[in-house]
């Protein structure tokens, strides 16, 4: 229950602090026989690696993953897959300042209230560095999902008020700009906005959108383990996420039944499809055969260089200006984390789905 | 994993179909020594009972709960609490029509894809009637939370485009209108809107907001079982919910760090507080001592009398007009369900929290 | 964690006290499409029903099960199966005596230490009546296992020092004597022994043996969820069980590797088998294709009419003679409970096994 | 569900193969504030280290543990504790022989049936080397239990037919002989017996007994998560264990109620105690305040140099003589593993117990 375990059948445990010796993950429940090597995991980790643009923390981490168990002759064996990344560039002295001060917008105060103390160096377990384990495990889940033809792609939908234009949407160009925006015009505008914020010692939030293709109808468990409920938990567990919606989401609340319902039809090829996808591919908590579409709202990076008022451990009112090396916006580096959490969720429910019928499937 | 179990320590299993013999719930893990009687559970169930206004289904269910175990001499004993409500007014013949037809906006198609067939009578397990068990269990959780001074109150924030006016917000008047809106002017406007929709054989969605007072700082587990992640799953598991946000939610994505951060301060009474509550009472997944505030977006009722196009089990394109007895909007009756899910989540995390430190607390 | 939930995928929650309104169980995770009716569950419950011989409690319970959900048109639907049995013959006044006295050999003292008080009537939740829910759920599990050709049969192996003679072993005669012994000569001797004990206001223990046929090689999960480890927990969770062994069990500790190893061979039919079955069908925690054989040791019924010394809630030394209606030996009625727990364990691991390989199976 | 996770609140995941890069464990749910350092964990690992006597495998492993996370300034932080031991002396070429042959008494056949193939080098995940993770995690659990005054001590009770004499029982001398027997005379006899078996290319089994002092009354959850049921699963999950019993165990099945019941009494110091401890400290699945006593039966090491008949992957009948470096008896090195599993079980139930009452405890 202590919170670092995710999933029921495809189940992972992440571990490690920002400025400890290493961060890592153990995957238990990955089926046997899936082709897997270190390079495939590394490719995912490289997408979240810091130090790659001026919009991301200047911390330099090689983030070389070591695959320690669970793979034999190039295939998963069904036993736990342990993976680890050593921390190489912690500058803990930067954090002496915040040892006794509660940063606004951070979990410092809650952690101390919970445990009585905390590993404050670099945010400890609450650091974004914790997502290394998620991404490594997500890479494994993606390899499993690939066998089913399931493909997961996330991207930056907006930063601040700058949103991608559906008319210019081009997923191919997502990886051509450091903001992960699949619209070059919006990406340029967002970069401009971020440059201004950096100058003003401020930060931005944004929205990540994720599309999952290839999920067959029938996935998700009724009642509490609905596909969208599980995705919501997975995505809301990423630091800085404050909102989650599937399909039309909050807009559906202002819609009418006659507009929001997606009509089914059978095409000339005999396949059942939906005319629209207001549902985001999920009805009654179960996949309906359409593409799964969801969005996550990220708040602005709470660490800003600007002076802020807060309190310290002694309860005294103090001022704080957070120097360190911080991303002015977390959204671009979070894109692959969103993909990882979606992959872990779908992998777990795909396995659960194998148990739905008396006759094995 | 089959989805009808919720919670880890305070753990419930709901059961029952809309037109089966009964619906119910078993609560395992409720601590011993909590005063509890049938009347207290009944009071919660009465709030979701159908047939109470023209905006809710005309189905008439007494919804009398029977408390079957786990209480002795007026107190919980620490052993499972089983509760059951008999179904008394099912009109299954109304549903013969949909036996072979997939209703747009409903889970019918996914259920058949998953299990090969389904109990179609009244939506079976996918019916809103399934929430009887949630509400009964939630009533027990509320009794437990009351011992900690935790209080949970939800209400209708908006129906369609009609939103309550913060200036007129008055929780006391929530129960004085059938729409559960704590603003009499908005309630009147929303009623007008619904009357129009009924005439047009259409339906509306809306937003429920929930405030949880009295949660001490420190609740929630880091990483995957964050307080907001757990609330998100709990609330998104309610049928028809398409979005969830905490604090400023999606608006935070357009904000700046300097605006979104809540500064801490120590008041003249020596208590640490926050100047604002953009976080909605949760930072880093852990309660920060502020009121917890979240919202859930409900889509419009999918069952509408208007003619719709869809397919049947044979894959043929057919038209459907859903008569039956359906709520033109589910939001008002869902308010108590949102409270129940929030209570179950907080109760579970309160118990988990007892295990955070070496020295017992 | 509160202890009334068993299983991970095929998961049950039992509830109810000996002298409460009812006892029951909810099964979540039973696959869809399994033929099931009330009569099939009733047949299992009839095997543990009290009042059927002079060696069992004289309490008279019809033990009529009511199947409340999860079955539609004669088949399981994949949603929770709730079952309930009303208590009809509680004589709670018999138990006023033990309200404040801790019976030797019973859990009274521990329950009070845990919860601060207890439902003392008839032993409350610690009563053997709690097994009604296990047996009902086990009946469902057996229906599922029947689809795989798995068959589970338990019987009384010994009562006190009276053990069945392998040379006279005849499973057909198990149900022809009230002691469930598949050896008529041993059954007669054991009956004689019990008659003597009744006269002496004393009680006996015994051993139940269980054979599971038809389990394919490969079942069970490595490391912690080994097939034998899961069976051990399942069986040790039955009240009064003090020991568990699989295959040669404790005798294996005195054996040599050259004697204890079962050699594999391929018969003329091309099928791999073992020459012997010292392993009891399980190697390394995984089924090896042989029949699964295990034994459970039951202690003597602790409730005896003879005078015993103990303490009361006030900590005073007192004497107690337990009148009530008690079985002089619990073993015969426990036989079907052992079968039920074995069935629940194997069903759960069969479903887990569906997730072992990348290619679905 | 894949089997390498143990515990519900104090929850561990072990990983690693005998001849992979490393073996390790992640502990999630250990409370914050417990003093812990690498040396304390190393002390436990040193007790199971191979190569320390002629009765243990000659494989030489330094087994130096690396503590990777979850500890800050000498105390646990409440976040996951990851620990790893590198494999340094694998001789995988020894195992080419068994790549395609199913060793009698081993899990090879079941693993292949389950996963389609296996990491055969050194037994892969089924190797006794897997227990490194258990012991490291158990060391952490013992540190937690020490705060409650709970102490766990196991020892070799018998090897083959050689059993310790209660009259000579002296726990202090357990660590003075390589067989972990707390009776020097029995230890000498057992050594003689093992020398003979080594000459005869054979192996022995034995019994480990474990005593847990300091457990207060009230621990364990009623029904399925009984203290003895949880211990049974924990201990039966250790490779080679074929039987488990608590208190009088199988002997209780031959006893009478009047003999087996332990009378409670209040001593002149006002403390409630039991006159005898036939129950082994557990009644109704809940600790009764007495010392907890249980035993585990280990089968003889299946790897013997003597020629045995078996089959290969192709299903052909073949002979096998297992050379490698194998323990003639696993019992002495398993003693600390039994302690570890007991500690993990009690730690988990101690935390669960914190949730038993409405008023926090």
C289 to chain D: which residues are within 8 Å by CB? 109, 113
Q: How far apart are CA C205 and CA C203, in angstroms?
A: 7
H or E, element range at B27: strand B22-28
Q: How far is CA C40 from the centre of its chain?
A: 18
What are B240-256's pLDDT values in tens digits?
999 999 999 999 999 99
pLDDT at A58 over 70: no
In DSSP terms, D22 is beta-bridged to D86
- D290: Cβ contacts below 8 Å, ≥ 6 apart: D262, D273, D274, D277, D279, D280, D281
Q: Are D65 and D54 in contact (CB under 8 A)?
A: no
- C289: Cβ contacts below 8 Å, ≥ 6 apart: C215, C216, C217, C272, C273, C274, C281, D109, D113
* Mean pLDDT, range C116-140, rounded to an integer: 92
Q: Are B218 and B164 in contact (CB under 8 A)?
A: no
* Mean pLDDT, range A119-141, rounded to an integer: 93
What are A88-107's pLDDT values in tens digits?
876 666 677 788 999 999 99
The whole-number pLDDT of residue D58 equals: 65
Sheet bearing B151-159, strands edge to edge: A162-163, A151-159, A206-213, A292-298, A241-246, B241-246, B292-298, B206-213, B151-159, B162-163
pLDDT at B189 over 90: yes
Residue A348 forms contact with D (CB below 8 Å):
no
pLDDT confidence band for B327 (50 / 70 / 90)? confident
- For residue C77, the chain A residue with the least C-alpha distance is A357
Angle between helical axes of C331-353 and C227-236 (0-180°, round to 10): 150
Subunit partners of chain B (3 or more CB pairs within 8 A): A, C, D
Interface touch C354/A358, C-beta < 8 Å: no
pLDDT at B81 over 70: yes
pLDDT confidence band for A323 (50 / 70 / 90)? confident
Q: Tell whether ipTM is more than 0.90.
A: yes
Please compute, for residue D98, the number of CA atoms within 13 A of its CA located in the half-sphere on the CB side.
Answer: 27
The whole-number pLDDT of residue A299 equals: 98
pLDDT confidence band for B92 (50 / 70 / 90)? low
D275 to chain C: which residues are within 8 Å by CB? 309
Enter the tokens of residue B14: 């709901």
What are C254-267's pLDDT values in tens digits?
999 999 999 999 99
SS3 helix, strand, coil % of chain D, rounded to 5? Answer: 35, 25, 45
User: Which of A319, A317, A335 lies closest to A327, judged by CA?
Assistant: A335
DSSP annotation string for D284-320: TTEE-SSPEEEEEEEPPPS--SS-EEEEBTT--EEEE
Please compute, for residue D314, the number of CA atoms within 13 A of its CA located in the half-sphere on the CB side.
Answer: 3
The whole-number pLDDT of residue D97 equals: 76
Please compute, for residue A3, the number of CA atoms within 13 A of its CA located in the half-sphere on the CB side.
Answer: 30
Q: Between β-strands C272-274 and C264-266, what pairing exists: parallel, antiparallel or unpaired?
A: antiparallel
B136-140, C328-332, D53-57, range with the lowest pLDDT: D53-57
The whole-number pLDDT of residue C3 equals: 92
Distance from CA of C32 to the nearest CA of B (A): 6
Residue A203 forms contact with B (CB below 8 Å):
yes
H or E, element range at D244: strand D241-246
Interface probe for B, chosen from C72, C108, C116 (most Cβ of B below 10 Å), is: C72
D84 to chain A: which residues are within 8 Å by CB? 68, 84
pLDDT confidence band for B361 (50 / 70 / 90)? very low
The whole-number pLDDT of residue B306 equals: 94
* Mean pLDDT, range C332-355, rounded to an integer: 97
Residue C32 forms contact with A (CB below 8 Å):
yes
Distance from CA of B284 to the nearest CA of D (A): 14
- pTM over 0.95? The answer is yes
Interface touch C356/A32, C-beta < 8 Å: yes
Residue C275 forms contact with B (CB below 8 Å):
no
pLDDT at A325 over 50: yes
Phi, psi of A14 (to 5 degrees): -95, 160
* Mean pLDDT, range C69-89, rounded to an integer: 95
* Mean pLDDT, range B306-322, rounded to an integer: 94
DSSP state of B313: T
Residue A74 forms contact with D (CB below 8 Å):
no
B258 vs A241, A252, A306: nearest CB: A306
Residue C31 forms contact with A (CB below 8 Å):
yes
Enter the tokens of residue B105: 């906006």
Residue A304 forms contact with B (CB below 8 Å):
yes
Residue A228 forms contact with B (CB below 8 Å):
yes
What are C190-220's pLDDT values in tens digits?
999 999 999 999 999 999 999 999 999 999 9
The whole-number pLDDT of residue D220 equals: 98
DSSP state of B261: P
The whole-number pLDDT of residue A2 equals: 81
pLDDT confidence band for B349 (50 / 70 / 90)? very high
* Mean pLDDT, range C308-324, rounded to an integer: 91
Interface touch B110/A279, C-beta < 8 Å: no
Residue D261 forms contact with B (CB below 8 Å):
no
Distance from CA of D216 to the nearest CA of C (A): 9
Residue D34 forms contact with B (CB below 8 Å):
yes
- For residue D143, the chain B residue with the least C-alpha distance is B358
* 3-state DSSP of chain C: CCCCEECCCCEEEEEECCCCCEEEEEEECCCECCECCHHHHHHHHHHHCCCCCCCCCCCCCCCCEEECCCEECCEECCCCEEEEEECCCCCHHHHHHHCCECCCCCCHHHHHHHHCCCCCHHHHHHCHHHHHHHHHHHHHHHHHHHCCCCEEEEEEEEECCEECCHHHCCHHHHHHCCCCCCCHHHHHHHHHHHHHHHHCCCCECEEEEEEEECCCCCCCCCHHHCHHHHHHHHHHCCCCEEEEEECCHHHHHHCEHHHHCCCEEECCCCCEEECCCCCCCEECCEECCCCEEEEEEECCCCCCCCCEEEEECCCCEEEECCCCCCCCCCHHHHHHHHHHHHHHHHHHHHHHHCCCECCCC
pLDDT confidence band for A361 (50 / 70 / 90)? very low
Residue A190 forms contact with B (CB below 8 Å):
no
Interface touch B224/A6, C-beta < 8 Å: yes
Distance from CA of C79 to the nearest CA of B (A): 7
pLDDT confidence band for A275 (50 / 70 / 90)? very high
The whole-number pLDDT of residue B94 equals: 66
pLDDT at C4 over 60: yes
Residue C316 forms contact with D (CB below 8 Å):
yes
pLDDT confidence band for A123 (50 / 70 / 90)? confident
A28-37, A39-48, B124-133, B320-329, range with the lowest pLDDT: B320-329
pLDDT at B78 over 50: yes
Alpha-carbon dihedral sign for residues A235, A240, A245, A246: negative
A316-325, C7-16, D47-56, range with the lowest pLDDT: D47-56
The whole-number pLDDT of residue C361 equals: 37
Subunit partners of chain C (3 or more CB pairs within 8 A): A, B, D
Residue D199 forms contact with B (CB below 8 Å):
no
The whole-number pLDDT of residue A1 equals: 57
Alpha-carbon dihedral sign for residues A310, A315, A316, A320: negative
B30 to chain C: which residues are within 8 Å by CB? 2
Interface touch D144/B358, C-beta < 8 Å: yes
What are C47-56's pLDDT values in tens digits?
988 667 777 7
For residues D73, D75, D78, D79, the Cα torsion angle rounded to the nearest 10 degrees is: 50
pLDDT at D54 over 90: no
H or E, element range at D85: strand D81-86
Q: How far apart are CA B76 and CA B85, in angstroms?
A: 20
A28 vs D4, D66, D119: nearest CB: D4
Enter the tokens of residue C109: 């003292």
Q: Cβ–Cβ contacts within 10 Å for residue D132, how many?
A: 28
Interface touch D285/C356, C-beta < 8 Å: no
Number of helices followed by number of strands (H, E) in chain B: 7, 18
Residue C330 forms contact with A (CB below 8 Å):
no
The whole-number pLDDT of residue C51 equals: 65
pLDDT at A62 over 50: yes
D77 to chain A: which residues are within 8 Å by CB? 17, 115, 117-119, 124-125
Interface touch C357/A78, C-beta < 8 Å: yes
pLDDT at A18 over 80: yes
Q: How far apart are CA D255 and CA C202, in angstroms?
A: 10
Distance from CA of B303 to the nearest CA of A (A): 8
Interface touch B250/A246, C-beta < 8 Å: no
In DSSP terms, B244 is beta-bridged to A244, B296
Residue C24 forms contact with B (CB below 8 Å):
yes
B147 to chain D: which residues are within 8 Å by CB? 358-359
What are A196-215's pLDDT values in tens digits?
999 999 999 999 999 999 99
Interface touch A359/C33, C-beta < 8 Å: yes
Residue D78 forms contact with B (CB below 8 Å):
yes
What are B30-69's pLDDT values in tens digits?
999 999 999 999 999 999 886 677 777 666 678 899 999 9
Residue C9 forms contact with B (CB below 8 Å):
yes
Subunit partners of chain A (3 or more CB pairs within 8 A): B, C, D
- For residue D348, the chain C residue with the least C-alpha distance is C1
H helices of chain B, in order, are 38-48, 108-115, 131-146, 184-199, 227-236, 257-260, 331-353
């Amino acid at each position: 229950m202590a919170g670092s375990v995710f999933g029921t059948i495809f189940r992972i445990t992440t571990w490690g602090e920002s400025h400890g010796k290493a961060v890592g993950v153990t995957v238990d429940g990955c089926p046997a026989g899936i082709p897997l090597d270190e390079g495939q995991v590394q490719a995912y980790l490289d997408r979240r690696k810091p130090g790659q643009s001026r919009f991301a923390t200047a911390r330099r981490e090689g983030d070389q993953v070591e695959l320690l168990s669970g793979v034999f002759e190039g295939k998963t064996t069904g036993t736990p897959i342990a993976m680890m990344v050593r921390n190489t560039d912690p500058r803990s002295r930067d954090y002496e300042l915040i040892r006794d001060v509660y940063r606004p917008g951070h979990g410092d105060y809650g952690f101390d209230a919970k445990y009585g103390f905390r590993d404050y160096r670099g945010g400890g377990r609450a650091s974004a560095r914790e997502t290394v384990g998620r991404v490594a495990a997500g890479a494994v889940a993606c390899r499993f999902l690939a066998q089913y033809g399931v493909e997961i792609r996330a991207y930056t939908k907006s930063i601040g008020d700058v949103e991608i234009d559906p008319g210019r949407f081009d997923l191919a160009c997502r990886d051509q700009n450091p903001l992960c925006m699949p619209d070059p015009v919006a990406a340029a505008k967002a970069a401009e906005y971020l440059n201004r914020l950096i100058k003003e010692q401020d930060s931005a939030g944004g929205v990540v959108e994720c599309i999952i293709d290839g999920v067959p109808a029938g996935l998700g468990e009724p009642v509490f383990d609905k596909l969208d409920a599980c995705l919501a938990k997975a995505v809301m567990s990423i630091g800085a996420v404050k909102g989650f919606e599937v399909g039309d989401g909050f807009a559906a609340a202002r819609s009418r039944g006659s507009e929001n319902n997606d009509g089914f039809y059978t095409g000339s090829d005999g396949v059942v499809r939906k005319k629209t996808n207001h549902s985001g591919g999920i009805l009654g908590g179960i996949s309906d055969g359409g593409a799964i579409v969801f969005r996550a709202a990220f708040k602005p990076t709470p660490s800003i260089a600007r002076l802020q008022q807060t309190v310290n451990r002694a309860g005294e009112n103090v001022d704080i200006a957070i120097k360190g090396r911080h991303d002015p916006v977390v959204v671009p580096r979070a894109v692959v984390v969103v993909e990882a959490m979606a992959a872990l969720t779908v992998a777990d429910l795909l396995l659960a789905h194998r148990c739905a019928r008396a006759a094995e499937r």
